[in-house]
Chain A
């Protein structure tokens, strides 16, 4: 006996974006901000300065096990190289632990495929969906490295942190997974960490980014940037 309201998924940043009087939209069952000010201003800010985007809805899976790599290859019929280079959202966090990120909604299919393959492989591999457990804040723009180097001790110089690499480190005194996935020419870093710290990390990045004129951007501007 279900109630009238169909369930809607909210990101941990929902309450603070709501306070900014933002227009929301829905995508894959998630209520996400469509635009904060205007699409043009948000795109300009991303291209010229630095912006933050709430990408919590991206699907997230963990694949754990000594034989995780072989299961992953069978499941996604990829050759070994790609697995370790972090192509198509697959990142090796440890030789027995892989992090897989998919566009919003596609994690269910990916999890099913991985589960069936790992069962068939008789290898002891655990597939866990952790989308709900993580907040994902994407820092986009030419000033993103400088902003991040105010809150994280990693070297963000392109030579030390090239595109499509994932590093787990301490950011604003919290444990975060940092994945660099540029959008065209724009450097972009996904900050993925436990969702109960989402508001704290967002507020800390906004404060640290004030000198660069950081602003949040919504779904519309982000989609436009990705189209390029």
Chain B
């Protein structure tokens, strides 16, 4: 079972978390998008077989939503960090 490091609680079994999908931020001004651009935001995914930045929620723990960088083929978690530190 994958070990995920919650930025707040430390190493925990992945069964304590809920996967939030690859990072895709909501457009700042949705009304500026064409319907195709909006459909792409809603539905299209990179779905890489590589390192991917994604959301996780420590729902059985401290309730923190945070980001993780994980290699999707090996499940190796490179790092996890709070959303606030995404540009750090």
Q: Flag whether B75 is at the interface (Cβ < 8 A).
A: no
Interface string of B2-30 (1 = CB under 8 A from A): 00000011001101100000000000000
Q: A168-B9, A169-B16 are in contact. Are A94 and B64 (CB under 8 A)?
A: yes
Interface positions, chain A 46-101, Cβ under 8 Å from B, are 93-95, 97
Q: Does B59 contact A (CB under 8 A)?
A: yes
Chain B nearest CB from A57 CB (Å) reads 25
Q: Is B62 an interface residue (CB 8 A)?
A: yes
Total residues of chain A contacting the partner, CB 8 A: 11
Q: Mark A164-192, 1 if CB is under 8 A from B, else 0.
A: 00011110001100000000000000000
Q: How far is the CB of B57 from chain A (nearest CB, A)?
A: 12
In the complex, besides A94-B63, A170-B15, A170-B16, 13 extra interface pairs with C-beta distance below 8 angstroms are A94-B62, A153-B13, A153-B15, A167-B9, A168-B61, A169-B9, A169-B12, A169-B16, A169-B61, A170-B61, A174-B60, A175-B59, A175-B60
| B interface with A by C-beta (< 8 Å) | 8-9, 12-13, 15-16, 59-64
Top-10 shortest CB links A-B? A170-B60, A168-B61, A175-B60, A94-B62, A170-B16, A153-B13, A94-B8, A168-B62, A93-B62, A169-B61
